[in-house]
Amino acid sequence: MPLLRLLPAWLCAVLALHIIGAKMATAYAAPLPLSVHAALDAAGLPPDALALAVLPVEGRFPRWLVQAARPMQPGSTMKLVTTAVALDLLGPNHRGNTELLSTADVRDGVLQGDLVLRGGADPELGLPQLWALLGELRRQGVREIAGDVLIDRTLFQPPRADIGLPPFDEAPEFPYNGIPDALQLDANLLEVELESDASGRVRARAWPPLPALEIDANAMVPSARPCADWDEDWQSPPEVSESAGVLRVALRGGFPPACSQRVRLHLLDRLALNERQVRWVWQTMGGTWSGRAREAEAPAQARLLARRQSRPWGEVLRTLNKRSDNPLTRLLYLQLGAPAMAQAPQRNTADLSADRVRQWFADHGIDTAGLVLDNGSGLSRSERITPLQLARLLQVAWQGPHAPDLLMSLPVAGIDGTMRNRLKQGPATGWARLKTGTLRNAVALAGYVRDTQGHWWVMAAMVNHDEASRKGRPVLDALAEEVARHGARLGPRPASVGPHEEGP
């Protein structure tokens, strides 16, 4: 009290209002619903494994806060951070691109030097799109490339973040583990057809049949698993060897008899894969090329020969969030840092992206204490965010101009995406738009929930525990159902401006 007497009256008033506001917010946060307690008990999870924040989409007073300021592993709900910040900073019309360039002249149908294939973070560059690009070169009269094909990935630093990076888990070949680069041709995946006869003998081939590549499945043995669970007996990593310029990939492990699967896997170094992809596409359209592919930056004086643009990221987000696509998210996250590279060319692009995300949080008054950023996808052992930070981000996004783009991208409870088999019957079905997150020791659920009175809420809830991936989802679903069923009941009703909301 003596200290307060020394302060100006206006400052005392501000401090008093701040303290009163904090106490009111805490008072309005209702006790955790019994249904969520029951779900925790049924799962055998301790109460301190759960942290959550449920807030109205507009307003100060929380509905529920439980360990809301505790940094948690968010799993793929971290994609909401990358999505919301990218929509605000890059805009939904931001596009990636891919270019063909050269410094060489064309004489008698021969490009008299190197061809540059430059990546501009095109999220949809597959073999059909590469065919269209090289087709434009053929349309210009080029039938032979006399030099090499230079693969330019220098939009990001380092250009090959995959080199020397320890694998996230024991299955680095599978698509979710993809580490993007600025070219990202066909997601750096090789499509393989696996087929076994009744005796269990396995035959494998790459599709398309890329040149100088052999897939050997002779070491694979019959498995007793159902065909749908073929990957349970997969052995990682496959053995890759080279002889006389031909790459041989030896697959290992078990495979069920009388089974057929078509899978896309990371089996080759991406430069070796890119060379074979370009060569196959060029040959199919009658072109000739006797050079090789190599990593290099496009010469400054190179002229543009052909260019393609991707769809706007605002459309690609639907795939990113509904399928929870890690490589796409990581590619978008890197684009947040790319504009700053001109002023900081020696810095890692991912670090520049983290700087921009933190600045965005600060610009919107969201505390960043405890926030740990890695690759923006949640496929990380280090990324952390508090439920309150994530809920506040969702509040800001709801009130921003790109809220429809964000909502469109989120899975709908009981309908599609990663939520198609959850919350299938209840008040949340067809209304709640929620991003899921799953790691071995973490599950999460975050997004927007509409209650039965028509009010919208943001929720961000996470379970971190060694048994989270096996037991945690029913707890999060119980919370979402509770918000949908009783959101505004027992909590503060959104303020109206008059008796009939028609004015003071």
Radius of gyration of the chain (CA): 27
3-state secondary structure of 446: strand
Q: What is the pLDDT of residue 29?
A: 57
* Residue 323 CB burial class (10 angstroms; 0-12, 13-18, ≥19): middle
Q: Average pLDDT per run of 10 along the chain, which is 504 residues long? A: 42 36 45 91 97 91 92 98 98 98 98 98 98 97 98 97 93 95 97 96 96 96 95 93 95 96 97 98 97 98 98 98 98 97 93 98 98 98 98 98 98 98 97 97 98 95 97 98 82 41 32
pTM of the predicted model over 0.85: yes
Nearest by Cα to 117 from 334, 331, 293: 293
pLDDT value of residue 107: 97
Name the amino acid, one letter, at 501: E
- Give one DSSP letter per residue of 131-189, joined into a string: HHHHHHHHHTT--EE-S-EEEE-TTSSSS-TTTTPPPSSS-TTSGGG----SS-GGGG-
**Can you give the pLDDT at residue 250?**
97
Give the span between the Cα atoms of 330 and 138, in whole angstroms: 34
Domains of the chain (ranges plus CATH)? 25-92+315-486 (3.40.710.10), 97-309 (3.50.80.20)
Is residue 391 within 8 Å of residue 459, measured between CB atoms? yes
Condensed to tens digits (0 to 9), the pLDDT of residues 396-429 reads 999 999 999 999 999 999 999 999 999 999 999 9
- Whether the Cβ atoms of residue 373 and residue 357 lie closer than 8 Å to each other: yes
The pLDDT value given to residue 61:
80
What's residue 12's pLDDT? 39
